[in-house]
Amino acid sequence: MSRIAYVNGQYLPHLDASVHIEDRGFQFADGVYEVCEVRHLQLLDVTRHLDRLERSLRELAIQMPMERRCIPLIMREIVTRNRVINGLVYMQANRGVYPRNHLFPPKSVKPSLVITAKHTNRAAAEEMAACGIGVISVPENRWDRVDIKSVSLLPNVLAKQKALEAGAGEAWFIDVDGFVTEGSSTNAWIVSKDGVLVTRPAESGILRGITRTRVIDMAAGMGYSIEERAFTIEEAKAAREAFVTAASSVVLPVVEIDGATVANGHPGETATRLRALFFDSSEKLPC
């Protein structure tokens, strides 16, 4: 079965799905995106993903490409047409197509909207989570509006590739004061020696991850103490546990940081428990 993509009002075979060369996403990375997990034919936390999409667009003065209530209909349609049971939905909204000019196009130019879906291998993901991943640290070199889920991801791309080449699964950005901000495509967490879950506040310096928010709600409900504060890479190396969160990796244990093992080098109990309970505590939209 061939894959189908939604591109500006049309459902197209993936191979034929393309954007115009004057698309501002292509020309300037002038747009935003969301990635939403599909599990057991259900879309997770769509309300929060749409809230963040609206916010990101508002911050960049880009119009919503269509009425908000219509977007989940397309997301569900694209999941169904691609027969995705477990996977990810990607959507990008940008400032539209207009002859290249740094200035915003006229208000009459319609924003672009692209929505795709892909399968993920849940067994492989669980295997990876059972082993945990390594992370490397890299200097923070992104702009100061990383709270916007912009498609402009060059530093993130370079950092992730560097991690891969170092045999690690993720790179953590370190700010000028020596604190971890977040991963190239994940939020960063530790569990302190006394069992407190620690993650950086989302007011600045990181993306407010939907998975992060869900884990905070879930962990609080389970009786964990949570501290939203910055931590250093040294504190992370000495922590009881470390893990990352994202829609694409749920809760993923970190077992090595810059070559040093975290605790006994195996996934921690807290991260493993939070991962197991994540689906049950998420908002679900059946497809």
* Spatial contact of 150 and 29, defined as CB atoms under 8 Å apart: yes
Q: How far is the CB of 52 from ligand PDD (least distance, A)?
A: 7
Tell me, residue by residue from 35 to 64, as one string, x for binding to ligand PDD by CB under 6 A and - for no binding. x-----------------------------
Q: Where are the beta strands (DSSP E) in the chain?
A: 4-7, 10-13, 31-39, 42-44, 87-94, 112-119, 133-139, 170-174, 180-183, 187-191, 197-199, 226-228, 241-246, 250-257, 260-261, 284-286
- Count the neighbouring beta carbons within 10 Å of the beta carbon of residue 99: 7
**Which residues in the 186-225 window bind ligand PDD by CB under 6 A?**
186-187, 207, 209-212
End-to-end CA distance of the chain: 19
Backbone angles phi and psi of 74, in degrees to 5:
-70, -40
Q: How far is the CB of 109 from ligand PDD (least distance, A)?
A: 26
Q: How far is the CB of 187 from ligand PDD (least distance, A)?
A: 5
* Spatial contact of 34 and 91, defined as CB atoms under 8 Å apart: yes
Tell me, residue by residue from 104 to 143, as one string, x for binding to ligand PDD by CB under 6 A and - for no binding. ----------------------------------------
The count of residues interacting with ligand PDD (CB under 6 A) is: 15
Q: Mark whether 149 is an active-site residue.
A: yes
Q: From 96-104, 115-123, 131-139, 184-192, give the range in contact with ligand PDD by CB under 6 A.
A: 184-192
* Spatial contact of 131 and 168, defined as CB atoms under 8 Å apart: no
Q: What is the residue whose two structure tokens read 């045999």?
A: 167
Catalytic residue among 107, 110, 118, 149: 149
Q: How far is the CB of 138 from ligand PDD (least distance, A)?
A: 13
- Count the neighbouring beta carbons within 10 Å of the beta carbon of residue 96: 25
Work out whether 182 is an interface residue with ligand PDD (CB under 6 A).
yes
Q: From 23-31, 102-110, 242-250, 264-272, give the range in contact with ligand PDD by CB under 6 A.
A: 242-250
Q: Report d(CA 192, CA 278) in Å as an integer.
A: 21
User: What residues make contact with ligand PDD under the rule CB under 6 A?
Assistant: 35, 156, 182, 185-187, 207, 209-212, 245-248
Active site (catalytic) residues: 149
